[in-house]
Chains A and B, each alone.
Chain A
Amino acid sequence: MRCPKCQGSMRTYDRNGVHIDQCENCRGIFLDYGELETLSRVESQWAQQQYTSPPPAPHGGPAWGTPHHGGHRGGHHQRSWVGMLFSS
């Protein structure tokens, strides 16, 4: 398939079950009927998961507290703050 804009050759990718044709020359993207709607739906589902706030802590928190998403920080990040738990 040829790109309708620059006549470059198009390559097909699969993203979340959506076929995307991208021009290897101008990087333009071609979507089939209904595929833009599918992408929008997937995006809003993702956003909902991200912004659902965690249940409020039983004893509350300060107005300036960071929003918690539960659990520790992972990997090296956790190591560097754990030292703080044990020093003045």
Chain B
Amino acid sequence: MSPAALTDRLARFATTHAAASAGDGVRVLKQTRVTVVRSGGVVVKAHPEGTGEAALNARLRVARTLPGILLPPLTERAERVGGRLVTMWPAGEPVDPADPDAAPWEAAAELLARLHAVPSTGLPLPPAGGPSRLLESVTHLSRLGGPESPLDGSYTGAVDVIQAAFGTLPRDLIGTVPSDSFGRPPGDLSGTPPRDLSGAGREVYVSSSGPVGGRVTHGDWHLGQIVRYKGEWLLIDVDDLGDGLTAWDLARPAAWYATGFLAPGLWERFLTAYLRAGGAAVSPEDPWRELDVPARALTVQLAATAVAAAHTEGRPLDDVEQDLVSSCGRIISAAAATAGSPQTT
């Protein structure tokens, strides 16, 4: 189905709800792996191809049980529209991307702290999607440069650095993937590319045992994942919601901070609000004890995604992308320094 045909079908599906706009008020909010269409007071989302129906429905059920934390879905279950799983949500107001200083950093941190206080035991949740997103990005990077899209020499250095930084991550993280789908040790991504972990492969994680922490984890948090609805900020996007290591939800801002994008003041505002709200993902006396691994993972993921995008667009790496690769370089040096020094603990 063409993208235009899909958005058309989604807009029509939206009109099954009374809050949808009857006339022209249809806007396409997103058209990536997911397609999101807004019609009046209703947002309809087509989930990525290959999304597992049982896992998505389990995530919807949990979203309905956490009012005040997660935006409640308008649909009980995911429906099929044009071959895609589709869900319906009330329309909220997103964060203004023009001014990161004015973003609700504190509100976001408090929402995550409250989410992380929810025990996942007894909830029918699959593992959170953080580690599988990392693996998808690194797998995608390692598949660049095939005969159909030869890798430009200017990228190969960056790809080597990103893969080496990936190799510093602990094996149990990579252990979330069954060995037959990623049959080589982390960091050894040369040679034959691993099996495609996107699409239908995502379902693999639902049935595999990921690193579970016994707490509900968002799995893909960033500033685009909160909206204001009826006057309160709420988390959105349940696609990666699951049982996981809650520190992964802080890892993206931690990676931005460590790479030098996020000003120390903003990072401190976010982290302090999280701790003040009782957020349990990190220890107040040494948050980087828990943050180090997931922040390294997210830095690798951001760099892999950025370099793959530059390659696809056929352009040299920009300053931001270079900074992410430099961060990967420092991850390698820091890991080498740690390996070379006696353990103090």
Interface residues of A (CB under 8 A from B): 54, 57-68, 70-73, 77, 80-88
Contacts and interface: CB of A to CB of B under 8 A. Distances in A.
Interface string B267-294: 1100110000000000000111001100
A77 B74 CA distance: 39
A3 to B, nearest CB: 43
A60 B263 contact: no
Interface string B100-141: 100100000000000000000000000000000100000000
Contacts of B265: 70
Nearest to A73: B261
B264 A70 contact: yes
A80 B330 contact: no
A60 B288 contact: yes
Interface residue range, chain B = 35 or more
A63 B264 contact: no
Contact of B295 (A62, A67, A72, A77): A62
Nearest to A69: B260
B327 A64 contact: yes
Contact of B334 (A64, A80, A84): A64
Nearest to A57: B264
Contacts of A73: 260-261
B155 interface: no
Contact of A66 (B100, B224, B258, B291): B258
Interface of B: 95, 97, 100, 103, 133, 220, 222-224, 254, 256-261, 263-265, 267-268, 271-272, 286-288, 291-292, 295-296, 302, 318-320, 323, 326-327, 330-331, 333-334, 337-338
B113 to A, nearest CB: 15
Contact of A80 (B258, B318, B338): B318
A67 B327 CA distance: 11
B337 A63 contact: yes
6 contacts: A62-B258, A65-B258, A70-B263, A73-B261, A82-B100, A86-B224
A40 to B, nearest CB: 32
Contact of B223 (A58, A70, A85): A85
B260 A68 contact: yes
B222 A63 contact: no
Contact of B259 (A66, A80, A83): A66
A65 B260 CA distance: 8
A29 B296 CA distance: 50
Closest A-B pairs by Cβ, 4 of them: A86-B224, A66-B260, A64-B334, A64-B330
Nearest to A80: B320
A59 B133 contact: no
- From A58, A70, A85, name the one whose CB has the most chain B CB atoms within 10 angstroms: A85
A71 B103 CA distance: 16
Contact of A62 (B224, B263, B268, B288): B288
Given A57-B268, A62-B291, 11 more contacts: A59-B288, A62-B258, A62-B292, A66-B260, A66-B323, A66-B330, A77-B320, A85-B222, A86-B95, A86-B223, A88-B222
A74 to B, nearest CB: 12
A40 B16 CA distance: 76
Contacts of B318: 80
